[in-house]
Amino acid sequence: MLSTVIKREASDLLISINAPPTLKMAGRMTPLGEAPLSQAQVKALVNVALPDSQRERLQREQEANFTLSVPRLGRFRVSAFQQRGQPAMVLRRISFDIPTLESLSLPASLGDLVTIKRGLVFVVGGTGSGKSSTLAALIQRRNTTIGGHILCIEDPIEYIHAHQNAIINQREVGVDTESFEIALKNTLRQAPDVIMIGEVRSQETMQHALSFAETGHLCLATLHANNANQALDRIINFFPVERHPQVWLDLSLNLRAIVAQQLLPATNGGRQVAVEVLRHSPLIGDLIRKGKVPEIKELIGRSNDLGMQTFDQSLYRLFREGLISEDVALVHADSANELRLMIQFGHETGEAANQVKENLRHLRLQEDGEGF
């Protein structure tokens, strides 16, 4: 089955009782045959994949995440778990080749992020949006350029980095360390220049990330959020209300970028990434310090010259280049009305943006029954 995953370039293999093994390809489900798997078959498949180090965790926590390496075939990120009291498993294909920003169709300007001496960079998106691949590309860019000591805390390790201009130490939670928190407490003793946190899931981990930036390190991390505004809301809500003013101040001084991404159905049948980019500027820092998150989106849209772009601007460019359909663009837009007008007028900024706003004003007046 795993050789079929590789041969057909599927992203995932799903194993569940009473269903045939199923591939996920470009977001679409493709069963391998019609025969459903029995309980005994699923248990056997999970047992074959499960390393000894994860057996106790699966029994104790009812789930386990690990990496499976198959010689001469490939590597897979595996999540084994219980559903309705029965075993199940999802295996995600991991390429041996480290992706580049270019191969991921990400803005070339993102490469500048790894040259920053200190600060916080977040890569955000939903599950399966390519966050890990983007982080790997950023780490590899640093590895092949200015180097340094890069320390990665991951759960599990996905891409294996070879030492080039950098020394890269990769620690896997549950194998090389008990938890993110324990690993991060000892990180500064290990003389890193760059610290990569596989995922921020708690207040303690977020506090470590802020502290690393404040002490002169570059910290890269992922976070589950749909866009830059949601990421800021998620970050602040890790902390109690009485700490919010200080956290906003810390973020305004240390946040260097938020890269938010979605994987969308492409016109060629594959997947295409859409990217929102927030980067530090004096105005962005001022809005963050004041906690004025709702005002940030408009400023991103007006700051293309600083390497920023909104999701809607990214969607418009992808549509204009024929990489995604209009329907896909509109379904995934933050504001379908604004994107529709961008497409109609053929522009995304400047005078056309003012025309878009004027048309939106008329649309709202008509909706309120006042424009007649």
Q: What was the pLDDT predicted at 345?
A: 87
Q: What was the pLDDT predicted at 20?
A: 97
The CA distance from 131 to 199, in Å, is: 10
Work out the angle between the directed axes of helices 336-345 and 351-367 (0-180°, nearest 10). 130
CATH code given to domain 2-94: 3.30.450.90
Q: Where are the domains of the chain?
A: 2-94, 108-334
pLDDT in tens, the chain (372 residues): 999 999 998 999 999 999 999 999 988 999 999 999 999 999 999 999 999 888 988 999 999 999 898 888 888 999 999 999 999 999 999 888 899 999 999 999 999 999 999 999 999 999 889 999 999 999 999 999 999 999 999 988 989 999 999 999 999 998 899 999 999 999 999 999 999 999 999 999 999 999 999 999 999 999 999 999 999 999 999 999 999 999 999 999 999 999 999 999 999 998 999 999 999 999 999 999 999 999 999 999 999 999 999 999 999 999 999 999 999 999 999 999 999 999 988 876 544 555 555 555 555 565 555 444
Residue 2 burial (CB count, 10 A) = 16
- Please list, residue by residue across 67-98, b when 16 or more beta carbons sit within 10 angstroms of its beta carbon and e when fewer do: bbeeeeebbbbbebbeeeeebbbbbbbbeeeb
Omega before residue 156 within 30° of 0, cis? yes
Q: What was the pLDDT predicted at 363?
A: 59
Answer CATH for 108-334 from 3.90.600.10, 3.40.50.300, 3.30.530.20, 3.40.50.720: 3.40.50.300
Q: pTM value?
A: 0.84
Q: What was the pLDDT predicted at 350?
A: 41
Instruction: Classify residue 323 by its DSSP letter.
Output: S
Asked if 15 and 46 touch (Cβ cutoff 8 Å), the reply is yes
Counting Cα atoms < 13 Å in the Cβ hemisphere of 212 gives: 32
Radius of gyration of the CA atoms of the chain, in A: 22
Edge-first strand listing for the sheet containing 63-70: 28-31, 22-25, 12-16, 86-94, 74-83, 63-70
